[in-house]
Structure 1
């Protein structure tokens, strides 16, 4: 993509509130089979028993949408002990041998997000090093997004579910909106490499239909290289996995919050370079699809029979994708999962055809 938005920016807005879709029996079996479903000492419902919250402001006294949760002392002691155990499960799959020197430095609540997450701050009492993780309501569409990101992107995701609870690791990086404000105009910015990465990120999101990638829903990782810096853009919010009906909501290039990144692409890359980087990313995704073919097929088969969006949004998206690709095959889809499967085949068909036959996956029926 990035061929029809470099001269004019359009404003697209996702739904203000997306419903939470429960994890069905088939998806639960998948999560158990691949080690994602565990028994957790503390569940989301345990954290909702706070007495009151205190707004958290940033360094400039601006609202952060996070609030510090205050608990009764007896509840707090129970939570601290078990939230540290949750952290150990997330990091070491349940090795509690080191938890005596860990403590909970804070419990924050976000009323803004769809899943209304809690952010758990963990501190090492010996050296004051801090880490954090998140506890959210388990949402099937979010789980599909996490799995597809884990299997098809260059990033690996650590998360677990337990009944109606989802815990996720913190994904480090500079939030996209802060990157725009503080790093985009730095004298040592490698603008060409950043533009290239935005093209690749745009392609990844569109290929597996991850929506709402506005600048505050992704982070930028900066890695020093022999010559300058390399960049990696990582999604951190998966609530809008194949939920919306508008095609352009799955293309980060169309959000006004991302205009500075799109402007870099327009300034530093020509259409031939954009096409090259898109092809590179599709090839990498095709190889990842090939290496995890059975797991991805199992996930998509479950997704095809699941309800993770509204019928009118399914109808709109399949029509828009059909018009975009000039392919009527999208019109046969009846669920978002079927649209995602068709989209993967459509977007990666050429790249998959270049992989040796013994490495290619079976048909995504």
Structure 2
């Protein structure tokens, strides 16, 4: 029988007053003209299919005529707040082409397609129910990953920018077989680093459809990076394997690629590189990182059973007694990140002596 990795459904956790103040200080918390619940009042919908005529688990929503204009104007204002200065100057050049609702997963987001009518370019953003666990995931991604991320929160509504890239499951199925050996080796390297980053910062559920692969064309080759796009499972589950992408069956071909293309000493080198980069980012964002950590240390984003299970598994994995003394997910996360930072600083001290 396959081991059960995850709970059936993760609950949503409220954003604490302390965390709201942190988000306001760093311009994440701002007034917006539309709420998640407003978009739930759609009067009808149709299924959205992909290019292969398969169900995408998204439905396109339709609203009564007397509400659609107000909703469109509000969503265009949200777009300008997210991507510009929030002024009304460009609203006349924007059009809301589609409002889609996802019927799959925990967050059940709305995906908004906004088009600039002057040049026909378009982009997306998402409207979701605010969940403290997800927002911590977004903020830690911003501080500790190679990527910056843009989002807004107002009361119980979360606005997230779209992260462009090829969905991992699509890339593995359609693009990976056509990659040459050099590209496959580079992708394997990036998966090792991505796996390490998720494990250390306790970002869970990185199945292939919860991350994207981004090809970047250099002058004589293509580089690849892997970027998370779903932050719902930050510090919630008790099973350590949930925070290690290598253990999801959806990532089997990526794990196989690592085994085929990388030697053990190379794998350890890339893991060490990623831990060092994490430590550097903690040090470089020390003030903001400490403020964020104070918020999560005083917050409740999981249940007692998960906390007990995870601290035991992390102690068994690392033999660090500090995990045994952790009382909530914030303390477990701090212990993991402190461990990485401390090792980096110790190595540097030895180098300088």
Normalising by the smaller structure, the TM-score range is over 0.9
| Equivalent runs, 1:153-302 vs 2, <5 Å | 153-188=145-180, 190-302=183-295
C-alpha contact 2:213 2:224 (8 A) present in aligned 1: yes
Deviation digits for residues 126-156 of structure 1 (CA, Å, limit 9, x no counterpart): 2221111000000000010000000000000
| Partner Cα distance (2:220, 2:6) in 1 | 39
> Which residue, out of 320, 328, 353, partners 2:346?
353
Q: Select which of 36, 39, 49 maps to 2:31.
A: 39
Query: Any gaps of 5 or more consecutive residues in structure 2?
Result: none
Which structure ranks higher in relative contact order (CA pairs < 8 Å, sequence separation ≥ 6)? 1
8 A Cα contact 1:119 1:133, kept in partner: yes
Deviation at 1:348, TM superposition (A): 3.3
Shift of 1:12: 5.3
CA distance in 2, matches of 1:347, 1:215: 26
SS at match of 1:135: strand
For residues 327-346 of structure 1, what are the structure 2 equivalents within 5 Å?
Answer: 327-346=320-339
In structure 1, how many angstroms separate the alpha carbons of the residues matched to 2:100 and 2:41?
13
Q: Give 1:49 deviation, angstroms.
A: 0.9
In structure 2, relative to structure 1, the CA distance for the partners of 1:355 and 1:71 (3 Å cut) is farther
- Tell me what 2:141 maps to: 149
Cα deviation for residue 355 of structure 1 reads 5.1
By how many angstroms is 1:187 displaced? 4.3
* Residue segments in structure 1 that go unaligned for 5+ positions in a row: 1-9, 358-365
Q: Given that residues 287 and 355 in structure 1 are in contact (C-alpha distance below 8 angstroms), is that contact kept between their aligned partners in structure 2?
A: no
| Displacement after TM superposition at 1:349 (Å) | 2.2
What CA distance in whole angstroms lies between the structure 2 residues aligned with 1:105 and 1:63? 20
Offset at residue 346 of structure 1 (A): 1.8
1:323 is displaced (CA, Å) by: 0.3
1:23 equivalent to 2:15? Answer: yes
Deviations 1:19-64 (A, max 9, x none): 1100010000100111100000111121111112211111222111
Could you tell me which residue of structure 1 aligns to residue 111 of structure 2?
Answer: 119
Q: Structure 2 vs 1, CA of residues 187 and 152 (structure 1 numbering), >3 Å: closer, same or farther?
A: closer
Q: Secondary structure at the match of 1:116?
A: coil
1:131 aligns with 2:123: yes
How many equivalent residue pairs? 348
Distance 2:97 2:345 in 1: 48
Q: Could you tell me how far 1:14 is from its partner in structure 2?
A: 2.0
Structure 2 residue matching 1:320: 3-state secondary structure: helix
Counterpart Cα distance in 2 of 1:71 and 1:17? 29
Q: Secondary structure at the match of 2:266?
A: helix
Deviates more, 1:112-121 or 1:220-229: 220-229
Residues of 1 paired with 2:297 and 2:121: CA distance? 43
TM-score scaled by structure 2?
A: 0.95
TM-score by length of 1: 0.92
RMSD after superposition:
1.5
